Amino acid sequence: MIRGRCPICSKTYEIQALADLPTFPFCCERCRLIDLGRWIDGNYAIPGGPESTEKEEELSADDAD
Ligand SMILES: [Zn+2]
């Protein structure tokens, strides 16, 4: 049993082996991509990400808050 916590959304998970979680140490593909975008380019906008950016004018189509 391996227990971990996603560094992006802080969600905890339990897996039997690392093979059970291809996105380790992230809980899901979405969180993995969010982290990837962060270090590739700070200006890279992730749709639906947990953190809002200052470049929201480019995402005016989705105004849900
Ligand atoms: Zn996560």
Q: Give domain limits for the chain.
A: 2-48
CA of 63 to the centre of ligand 1 (A): 23
The percentage of the chain sitting over the pLDDT mark of 90, rounded to a whole number, equals 52
Q: What DSSP state is assigned to residue 22? A: T
- Region 45-61: what's the mean pLDDT? 59
Q: Is the separation of the CB atoms in 26 and 44 below 8 Å?
A: no
> Which CATH superfamily is 2-48 part of?
Erythroid Transcription Factor GATA-1, subunit A (3.30.50.10)
Q: How far apart are CA 49 and CA 33, in angstroms?
A: 10
CA of 39 to the centre of ligand 1 (A): 16
- Give per-residue pLDDT as tens, 17-34: 999 999 999 999 999 999
Report pLDDT for 38: 82
- Region 35-40: what's the mean pLDDT? 82
Q: How much is the pTM?
A: 0.57
Higher per-residue pLDDT: 5 or 61: 5
Q: How far apart are CA 45 and CA 60, in angstroms?
A: 13
Structure tokens, 24: 């380790």
Q: How far apart are CA 53 and CA 34, in angstroms?
A: 13
